[in-house]
Amino acid sequence: MTRLNIPYGRAICYSGFRDGQSPETGIFPSYEEVREDLLLLQGHWKYLRLYDCDLHAETVLEVIEKEGLEFKVMLGVYIVAEVSNHNCPWGGIYPEEELIANRTLNEKNTGKLIEMANRYPDVVFSLSAGNEAAVDWTDHLVPVERIMEYVSMIKAGANQPVTFCDNYAPWLDKLEPLVNLVDFISIHTYPVWEYKNINEGLRFTQQNYYDVANRYPHKPVLITEAGWATKSNGRGIEPNNVSERLQQIYYKQLVQWSDEQNIITFVFEAFDEQWKGSPEPLEPEKHWGLFKTDRKPKLVMQELFS
């Protein structure tokens, strides 16, 4: 058991958008496509992380319940920008009327998260009040005070433990006011985005984890994203620092350490997603999956799925 009284198990981030599908176009995976994915993942991962309470999440929860699958889900709400962020390299500046509308939308979607959590109490084991909305470079910046309001709103409306998912760095300073409010801390750690090579990868992740865990010894810490990309266009990640072989090495090290220390670690991510990032084919955001978009296993999974 972890200190959160959640049994230890292997965990993975799941977003099932296939080629030609995306939340932006409103084309979502079907029931059968989600069922195919979950049957592939079942038996290898106990916990799934979902990012938003959209139609995709609805389908995933429905499939798990109707098919009697053994997954437990961390369900999140995706909160969008409530203030502009001049530190975002790819554009985080919005007109005030859009930011005002976003605040209303975030409140509405947080209410939907609560409703879904109460509808699937046996499937949803924890709730996240947002994703990467506090880190310095985000394009959907939300003030810490507002994140605290959303956490309080969720805790008042649902029974599951509540967290907020973000990069490890803001947990060391600006998110400190949130620590006593959440039931556990959720950090993201990406060595390859921070120019670490494979020999430094696991050590960097361990440092990120223990920097946060040692700062708040009274609060459980989970890793809700950690992974290694397999391709890059050279923007932000050196192309020679990513490959299927390097992903395999980091994954094996990460899982072994997580198993030994009983640290629930959500590997990012199950499947490649072509809709993400820029249109460039080698855009790193498209290439974090343990499986390709056609569901064929990458090198890291070929022993399990030969």
Cβ contact 301:291 at 8 Å: yes
Q: Which residues contact 101 (CB under 8 A, 6 or more apart)?
A: none
pLDDT(220) > 90: yes
Q: Which two tokens stand for residue 233?
A: 């266009």
Give the mean model confidence (pLDDT) for residues 141-169: 98
| Percent above pLDDT 70 for the chain | 99
Give the mean model confidence (pLDDT) for residues 287-291: 98
Cα–Cα distance between 177 and 151 in angstroms, integer?
Answer: 12
Beta-strand relationship, 265-267 and 185-189: unpaired
Per residue in 99-144, pLDDT (tens digit) is 999 999 999 999 999 999 999 999 999 999 999 999 999 999 999 9
Kindly report the pTM of this predicted structure.
Answer: 0.97
DSSP states along 27-50: B---HHHHHHHHHHHTTT-SEEEE
pLDDT(201) > 60: yes
Give the mean model confidence (pLDDT) for residues 26-31: 98
pLDDT at residue 306 in the model? 79
CATH of 11-301, one of 3.20.20.80, 3.40.50.300, 3.40.50.10190, 3.40.50.2000: 3.20.20.80
Cα–Cα distance between 79 and 131 in angstroms, integer?
Answer: 7
Q: Which two tokens stand for residue 104?
A: 């209303």
Sorting pLDDT into bands at 50, 70 and 90, what band is 182? very high
Please report, for the chain, the start and end positions of each structural domain, with discontinuous segments joined by +.
11-301
Helix H or strand E encompassing 179: helix 176-179
Give the mean model confidence (pLDDT) for residues 198-216: 98
